[in-house]
Amino acid sequence: MGAPAFECESVASGRDIMSSTDTREMNSRATAARLVYQYRSHHEIPSRRLETVTRDRAFVTEMVLGVVRNQHALEWVIAQLVDRAPSDKLIPVLLVGLYQLLYMDHVEPYAAVHESVEAAKIMCGDSKGGFVNAILRRALREKDDLLRDLDKQPIDIRCSHPQETVARWERQFGQKNAERLCEWNNQRPEVIIRVRGSTDVETLLHEFHSAGVPATQHEKEGFITLGTFTSIPDLPGYDHGWFTVQDPSTLIAIDLLNPKSGERILDACAAPGGKAIATADRMEGQGTLVAADLNPLRLKRLQENLKRCSCQFVQTRIIDAATMLPDGFDHSLFDAILLDVPCSNTGVIRRRPEARRRLTAHHLDQLVALQARIIEQACSLLAPGGRIVYSTCSLEPEENEQQIATLLEKRPDLHLVHSARSFPPDDQIDGAYAAELRQGA
């Protein structure tokens, strides 16, 4: 028999969840619950809000992204514990509390319950603390049974993916691979860095270990996997530009681009800069590299990364890749153009868990149309005999193989030289697709 469900007080009472008049200090669970509320109610991307958190950011991040990653499973658990659904304003508190109890073994259960109760009081009123306390304590008592029953649920519930997405992947990859992909997406992602030519893997590993930073050599050459650490900017070698944070999958496109010294190259969707810096490294500071992005804030981050990595020769521009109509942009032709286009992000759901809920037919159609416009504009900037590398972090054929096939039908002056892709469960890296197109015979 489930416990009775209690509602949060109405906005008219002056206790709206996002503008509470409670003067008690916000604890980390309340901060996480508020961010979860914003995600559920306003579809705000959690990572952007998490950047504004100053206190216990790592802990808050784990809770928020953990809830997003396991949302369907946690909602199923709530349904087993209550007779009727709690209000939209109380559910985030329960989600955060249950995630700690069921998935965060390093968190003391007492602390998880107590602080979640306090969060409920701060956000929804003192009377709601007792309800949250009862639900979480029952979940703790029945934890083994709940997890065992959850493991028997369909994959869309067990791995918290929309039914439509699971069905799509079963058609594309087969049932077993679709299940493997969903399970991969629900793993906590490692932080992986690419070691730049200014140092080497052995030297950087020695620096990390001397500083007490857990780190191991990645199976992909030139990469390091980091363990628990404080923050990226505090790592040895960060200020010297010895490394960039990026998954090995990002080099699939760079390998096809094959940048050379002295070439004129455009990276049309460059922020935050991992691929642009890898391109600059292979150009050895010789030639012209224009790194562009539409978003001024993302461009600022790109510029900061370029400066840290001493890539002074790289030019940065605010450019709308779908129109190529910025002020002051030199429309000279390029030997090579990298198009790391906006996409559904289905290859990086492990890092962007909210992306699993954005894969709708309408959204996919919008992305495919945008990608087509970007490619068409890029073709107008390509020098005779030049090459374009089209890249996504998507697993969807509409954005990858089908997009390229459609382009080649429209543009007989282009031909496909090579394409490559990664499938996360098989390759143990993020999912990516890249195709090299060349103009002329």
- Name the residues annotated as catalytic: 393
CA pair distance 229, 70, nearest whole angstrom: 24
Helix (H, G, I), strand (E, B) or coil at 275: helix
Burial zone of 326 (CB within 10 Å; 0-12 exposed, 13-18 middle, 19+ buried): middle
Q: Count of H helices and E strands in the chain? A: 18, 11
Q: Please count the residues of the chain.
A: 441
**Nearest CA among 24, 42, 30, 121 for reference residue 354:** 42
User: Cβ neighbours of residue 405 under 8 Å, at least 6 residues apart?
Assistant: none
Give yes or no for a contact between 38 and 45, defined as CB atoms under 8 angstroms apart. Answer: no
* Residue 389 CA: distances (Å) to CA of 96, 324, 370: 42, 17, 16
Give alpha helix (H) positions in 198-289.
201-210, 251-257, 274-283
Residue type, 351: R
Report helix, strand and coil shares of the chain as percent, to nearest 5: 50, 15, 35
